[in-house]
Chains A and B, each alone.
Chain A
């Protein structure tokens, strides 16, 4: 079946540090890939997405590239800010039996300290 594995947290970084959160997936065919973010006390929000191999999703300084050869979709940001502190979820979406079901990783908590 479909599955998503992302690095376990928590991750603590200093402001302006480089961020990488690893995400790998298992799925048949060609899933769409997503990163969602959950800020403290808020619901999940779509951060970025990529729908085919070699696509790069980007938003708010975050980037992730759909790598089919390594089945990965790692999240990166060159210089994190305190306001980026949140839980980040990698997810894939695959059409299965008429259902576009999102499969999530377990989430990675990021804390950015001044």
Chain B
């Protein structure tokens, strides 16, 4: 597609329920990232997928969070047993990356999913 698409744009869920957030990256982008944007906290890295390599999960805050990327394209971020502190905007970004890349290619971000846990 023309840009990074995220769905849903807004999600309200009850505490303790599971949620799935979807990201559809730009076609051909090999790298996909999930970030969390909380009020006053900036952007927090969650997870990174690059091609067929093992994902970098170093930013996932707890084992309630998981993500997968099927076929090197669409990604789903799953939060189990949601807590109120999970309320935030979840951003997905994709990028073209080569191992000689010195950052010449910027990331393209989606508009995010605003998650509210009540």
Chain A contact residues, CB within 8 Å of chain B? 31-32, 34, 36, 42-46, 49, 51-52, 89, 93, 97-107
Counting chain B CB atoms within 10 Å of each CB, which of A36, A43, A89, A101 scores highest?
A: A43
Q: Is B70 part of the binding interface, using a Cβ–Cβ cutoff of 8 Å?
A: no
Query: A32, B103: Cβ atoms under 8 Å?
Result: yes
Are A42 and B111 CB-contacts (below 8 A) given A98-B53, A98-B56, A100-B31? yes
Are A99 and B56 CB-contacts (below 8 A) given A89-B43, A93-B103? yes
Query: B50, A43: Cβ atoms under 8 Å?
Result: no
- Of the candidates A34, A49, A99, A104, which one forms a contact with B42 in the assembled complex, judged by CB atoms under 8 Å apart? A104
Chain B contact residues, CB within 8 Å of chain A? 4, 31, 33, 35, 40-43, 45, 48, 50, 53, 56, 58-59, 91, 93, 95, 97, 101-104, 106-112
Query: B103, A49: Cβ atoms under 8 Å?
Result: yes
Main secondary structure of the interface of A (DSSP, over half): strand
List 26 interface pairs A-B (beta carbons < 8 Å), by A numbering: A31-B103, A32-B103, A43-B112, A44-B43, A44-B91, A44-B107, A46-B106, A46-B108, A49-B103, A49-B104, A49-B106, A51-B103, A93-B103, A98-B50, A98-B53, A100-B31, A100-B48, A100-B95, A101-B48, A101-B58, A102-B33, A102-B45, A102-B93, A104-B35, A104-B43, A107-B43
Are A51 and B102 CB-contacts (below 8 A) given A44-B91, A106-B42? yes
Closest CB in chain A relative to B49 CB, distance in Å: 10
Query: Which residues on A sit within 8 Å (CB–CB) of B97?
Result: 100
Query: Which residues on B sit within 8 Å (CB–CB) of A105?
Result: 42
Q: In the complex, A36→B111 CA distance in Å?
A: 14
Query: Which residues on B sit within 8 Å (CB–CB) of A43?
Result: 4, 91, 109-112
Closest CB in chain A relative to B114 CB, distance in Å: 11
Query: A51, B42: Cβ atoms under 8 Å?
Result: no
Query: Which residues on B sit within 8 Å (CB–CB) of A52?
Result: 102
Given A43-B111, A46-B108, A105-B42; 11 other pairs, CB 8 A cutoff = A36-B109, A43-B110, A46-B107, A98-B50, A98-B53, A99-B48, A101-B56, A102-B43, A102-B93, A106-B40, A107-B43
